[in-house]
């Protein structure tokens, strides 16, 4: 049987961990449990000590993704399970994730339904991400941003250098697995209401959510994003030329600029495609 490591990033989640850690131990008594304390100012460390759980403490907050990377480097299991430390994820679902992982997949993600989304805005954003990721990869993506997932440790460690220190590690890891032709599956889960206050700030993270859309494309196949954008600018240039030719009988600077933009965008996509290919090249 493969050894299991359960990794929980946590920042001031003491109230949730007090109830969550015993439930995890009860559900997976033989697992290694690692709480990565991301600069908490509450009693997270003390709660981990009382629960007999390994706690990796950071002197200051480095971000959710940074906590995931630290936990993955320190874990000794052949299989990893990542789950939030805020009480949203049910430890009972770990067995369901692992069961699917044993069917031959390399990553299994707990997919939340609409009722489990943290508000309408987040639900709409996640729906857009899932649709775009599905279009980019050609595979059904049921929940791109879920932090509840089981993975094979050796596969996950291949992409530690790609993971950001912020909140978008689920997006990055999922797209990296698809790009590398590693099998990804989804298991429906119910996410509970988190304990305590969310660390996500709507205004600041609104920009982050927008950047995730571009990350989805650039992590998988940049040309699938840049080629249509280039074609759009080219068509706009043609339409503008037709209008100005019929009106003024000449070619205007506007059409030339749109055509130049089309060429530049396509070339950027081409270079990005080559960079992406080099990024995923394994050095065996």
Rounded to an integer, what distance in angstroms lies between the CA atom of residue 204 and that of residue 208? 7
Stretch among 1-5, 160-164, 261-265 having the lowest mean pLDDT? 1-5
Q: What is the C-alpha end-to-end distance of the chain, expressed in Å?
A: 27
State yes or no: pLDDT of 91 exceeds 50.
yes
pLDDT confidence band for 48 (50 / 70 / 90): very high
Are 5 and 79 contacting, i.e. CB atoms less than 8 angstroms apart?
yes
Tell me what the mean pLDDT of segment 110-117 comes to.
77
pLDDT of residue 135: 84
pLDDT of residue 70: 95
Are 54 and 48 contacting, i.e. CB atoms less than 8 angstroms apart?
yes
Rounded to an integer, what distance in angstroms lies between the CA atom of residue 95 and that of residue 101? 10
pLDDT of residue 185: 95
Using the structure block, give the residue that is written with the tokens 């790009």: 179
State yes or no: pLDDT of 203 exceeds 60.
no
Q: What is the CA radius of gyration of the chain?
A: 22
Rounded to an integer, what distance in angstroms lies between the CA atom of residue 104 and that of residue 92? 21
pLDDT of residue 284: 44
Angle between helices 14-27 and 93-101 (to 10 degrees): 60
Tell me what the mean pLDDT of segment 217-237 comes to.
87
Please work out, in degrees rounded to the nearest 5, the angle formed at the alpha carbon of residue 205 by the alpha carbons of 204 and 209.
140
pLDDT confidence band for 102 (50 / 70 / 90): very high
Higher pLDDT, 44 or 120: 44
Alpha helices in the chain (DSSP H): 14-27, 44-51, 64-74, 93-101, 120-137, 153-157, 169-179, 202-220, 223-248, 253-279
pTM here?
A: 0.78
Among 89, 72, 69, smallest CA distance to 21 is for: 89
Q: 138-186 pLDDT, tens per residue? A: 888 999 889 899 999 999 999 998 888 877 789 889 988 998 889 999 9
Rounded to an integer, what distance in angstroms lies between the CA atom of residue 264 and that of residue 148? 40
pLDDT confidence band for 198 (50 / 70 / 90): low
State yes or no: pLDDT of 207 exceeds 80.
no
State yes or no: pLDDT of 101 exceeds 80.
yes
Helix (H) or strand (E) holding 37: strand 32-37
Higher pLDDT, 195 or 183: 183
**Residue 106 tokens, joined:** 């390399």
pLDDT of residue 2: 65
Are 191 and 149 contacting, i.e. CB atoms less than 8 angstroms apart?
no
Q: What percent of the chain has pLDDT over 90?
A: 49
Contacts of residue 240, Cβ cutoff 8 Å, sequence gap at least 6: 252, 254, 255, 258
């Amino acid at each position: 049987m493969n050894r299991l490591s359960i990794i929980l990033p946590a920042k001031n989640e003491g109230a949730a961990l007090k109830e969550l850690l015993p439930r995890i131990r009860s559900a997976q008594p033989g697992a290694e449990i690692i709480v990565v304390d991301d600069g908490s100012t509450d009693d997270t460390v003390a709660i981990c000590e009382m629960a007999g759980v390994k706690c990796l403490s950071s002197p200051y907050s480095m971000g959710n993704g940074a906590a995931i990377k630290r936990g993955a480097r320190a874990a000794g299991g052949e299989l990893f399970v990542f789950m939030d430390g805020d009480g949203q994820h049910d430890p009972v679902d770990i067995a369901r994730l692992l069961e699917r992982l044993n069917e031959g997949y390399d990553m299994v993600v707990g997919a939340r339904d609409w009722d489990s989304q943290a508000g309408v805005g987040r639900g709409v954003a996640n729906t857009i991400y899932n649709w775009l990721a599905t279009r980019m990869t050609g595979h059904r993506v049921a929940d791109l941003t879920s932090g509840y997932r089981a993975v094979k440790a050796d596969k996950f460690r291949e992409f530690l250098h790609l993971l950001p220190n912020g909140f978008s590690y689920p997006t990055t890891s999922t797209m990296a697995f698809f790009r590398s032709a590693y099998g990804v599956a989804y298991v429906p889960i119910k996410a509970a209401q988190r304990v305590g206050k969310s660390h996500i700030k709507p205004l600041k993270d609104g920009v982050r959510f927008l950047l995730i859309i571009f990350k989805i494309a650039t992590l998988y196949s940049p040309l699938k994003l840049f080629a249509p954008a280039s074609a759009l600018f080219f068509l706009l240039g043609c339409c503008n030329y037709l209008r100005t030719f019929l009106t003024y009988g000449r070619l205007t600077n506007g059409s030339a600029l749109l055509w130049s933009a089309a060429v530049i965008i396509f070339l950027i996509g081409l270079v990005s495609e080559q960079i992406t290919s080099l990024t995923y090249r394994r050095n065996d």
